[in-house]
Amino acid sequence: MVTTARDVAERVGVGMREIIVGGDELTFALLVALLARGHALIQGVPGTGKTLAVRALAALLGAQYRRIQFTPDLMPADVVGTTVFNPQSAEFSMRPGPIVTNFLLADEINRTPPKTQSALLEAMEEGRVTIDGVPLQLPRPFFVCATQNPIEYEGTYPLPEAQLDRFLVMAIAGYPQPAAELELLSRVAAGFDARAIEPKALKPIAGPDEITTAQSEVRGVRVAAPVQQYIYDLIAATRSHRGLSLGASPRAGVSLLGAAQASAAIDGRDYATPDDVKDVAALVLPHRLIVAPQAEIDGVTAVKVVREILESVPIPREDAP
């Protein structure tokens, strides 16, 4: 049995429900990305709790948290750091940037030019940065959570496919259900203050060591050959789908497998099933697909394509170990 990952996920779920109303799906997406040692992209209009969710998760896990507000004039050195000259010692010293942390919130990442966006690539892929030619290992765990606004395009720089592919999951922060929104208003009326969600005000329920232990458990989750074949069949189906001009890459298959392992671990199992794959496919695949122009005119979206593929690809029958 997988114990630490499930325990952390349950405690985080309870803590997040005290802060985020109706955010179970977003919490699940963030936990999948974190436990699978990936990164998350949250898309949603302003005011839907994107930043609050990341702040709350970092506080609950007792992790160091930093936020970068991405703007058009942000430079790569503002993210990764630089070297500065000390006139007293006549020597250069390294000054790490805000990326050297456990939890990094890249707020409105699409508002900064591609050169600065790409400064995150090495860190997200390799867990390290290079400052003036000197490599610097980032602390573990290292989790990047970026946000972007889907309705304002003026003055923005859409993330290139290579950058999108570095995000294990893309979650949508939408409007809450009526009952959840009424609950939110009730909490605020009773004195809830989102600005007070910080480590000092919110007691951590886990720590970085538990996170790394849970991540190790996730990597040990068994994925049997039939489930691996199912993952491949889903990936292959995107490459031949008439509505797509670009299907999923082999890295997308690896990401889907890792996310399925995390889903199984959250459920307390040390083996993944086809249902785990289906549970995370909508988080892992759509942002890696490019819809054909004509299909886009006809109203086809990457999410619809993934849903169609999940319905059409046969599910293997496998008995639990």
In the chain, ranges of CATH 1.10.8.80 domains: 220-312
Output the six-digit token pair for 222.
Answer: 């068994």
Neighbour count for residue 178 (Cβ, 10 Å): 9
Query: Dihedral of the CA atoms 258, 259, 262, 266 (nearest 10)?
Result: -170
Alpha carbon distances (Å) from 121 to 111, 229, 311: 16, 30, 34
pLDDT tops 60 at residue 23: yes
In the chain, ranges of CATH 3.40.50.300 domains: 4-214
Fold of the CATH domain 4-214: Rossmann fold (3.40.50)
pLDDT tops 70 at residue 310: yes
Q: What contacts 311, CB < 8 A, 6 or more positions away?
A: none
Output the six-digit token pair for 56.
Answer: 């709350």
The CATH H-level superfamily of 220-312 is Magnesium chelatase subunit I, C-Terminal domain (1.10.8.80)
Predicted confidence at residue 320, as pLDDT, reads: 46
pLDDT tops 90 at residue 10: yes
Neighbour count for residue 319 (Cβ, 10 Å): 6
Predicted confidence at residue 220, as pLDDT, reads: 95
Predicted confidence at residue 241, as pLDDT, reads: 94
Predicted confidence at residue 152, as pLDDT, reads: 64
Contact yes or no for 5/31 (Cβ under 8 A): no
Q: Which residue has the tokens 């290079």?
A: 130
The Cα 305–Cα 156 span in angstroms is 26
**Which amino acid, 173?**
A
- Label the pairing between strands 128-131 and 103-107: unpaired
Over the stretch 251-284, which tens digit does the pLDDT of each residue have?
Answer: 999 999 999 999 999 999 999 999 999 999 999 9
Contact yes or no for 287/251 (Cβ under 8 A): no
**Which amino acid, 176?**
P
Predicted confidence at residue 153, as pLDDT, reads: 61
Cβ-in-10-Å burial (0-12, 13-18, 19+) of 112 comes to buried
Identify the bridge partners of residue 95 per DSSP, sorted by sequence position: 82
| Residue count of the chain | 321
299 torsion bin: left (phi>0), alpha (psi -120 to 50), beta (else): left
Q: What is the mean pLDDT of the chain?
A: 89
Q: How big is the chain by its Cα radius of gyration, in Å?
A: 20
Question: Residue 198 — pLDDT band, cuts 50, 70, 90?
Answer: low
Q: Is the peptide bond before 250 cis (omega within 30 degrees of 0)?
A: no
The Cα 110–Cα 115 span in angstroms is 12
pLDDT tops 90 at residue 67: yes
Give which of 124, 321, 293, 312 is closest to 233, Cα–Cα.
Answer: 312
Contact yes or no for 124/130 (Cβ under 8 A): no
Predicted confidence at residue 38, as pLDDT, reads: 96
pLDDT tops 50 at residue 245: yes
**Looking at per-residue confidence, does 186 or 117 come out higher?**
186
Predicted confidence at residue 154, as pLDDT, reads: 62
